[in-house]
Amino acid sequence: MSTSMNYLDGNAAAGELSKIFAVDITSAEGQCANCGSKRHFAEAHLYVQCPGLVARCALCGHVLLRCSNIRGRVFLDLRGMTYLSVEAAPQEASN
C-alpha cells in the first residue's frame, strides 16, 4: 500500500457539509479554479488528518474547499472552485 494514498473522497465530507448545504454536495459539479476540470464533488480527494476538511482536485491537486470548525463557527473557503453547480429540482428520497 502506498503511504501517499492517505485521502478519502468527497463522499466522506457530505455529512459534515450537510450542516451548510441544503442540497447533496456529492452530486454537485465543481470547476477547479486552477486546471479548469469539471467534476462531481464526490470525486475530489479529501484529506481529514488536519483541523477540518480539505478537498483537492483529483486531477491537479489544487485545494478546492476547506472547511473547519473553530470556536463554535464553521469556516468555509471555496475560492479553489470557479463555480459549484447543483440540480435545481429536488432528487427523490435523497435527504
Partner 1 sequence: MTWRSAKVVELRDETATARTIGLAVRDWPGHIAGQHVDVRLTAPDGYSAVRSYSIASAPNSDGHIEITVERLPNGEVSPYLTKELMVGDDLELRGPIGGWFVWRRDQTEPIQLVAGGSGVVPLMAMIRSHASAGSSAPFRLLYSVREPGAVFYRDELQALSGQGNSVVITYAYTRMTPTDWPRPAGRIDVELIATGTWPSNLRPTSYVCGPTSFVEHATDLLIAAGQDRERIRTERFGATGERK
Site track 40-79 with partner 1 (rule: CB under 8 A), x = hit: xxxx----xx---x--------------------------
CB burial of residue 78 (10 Å; 0-12, 13-18, 19+): middle
Dihedral (CA of 68, 76, 63, 21) sign: positive
Distance CA 24, CA 27 (A): 6
Candidates 2-10, 30-38, 60-68, 70-78 — which segment interacts with partner 1 by CB under 8 A?
Answer: 2-10
CB of 95 to partner 1, least distance (A): 6
SS3 17: helix
The contact set with partner 1 (CB under 8 A) reads 1-2, 5-9, 11-12, 14-16, 18-19, 24, 26-27, 40-43, 48-49, 53, 91-95
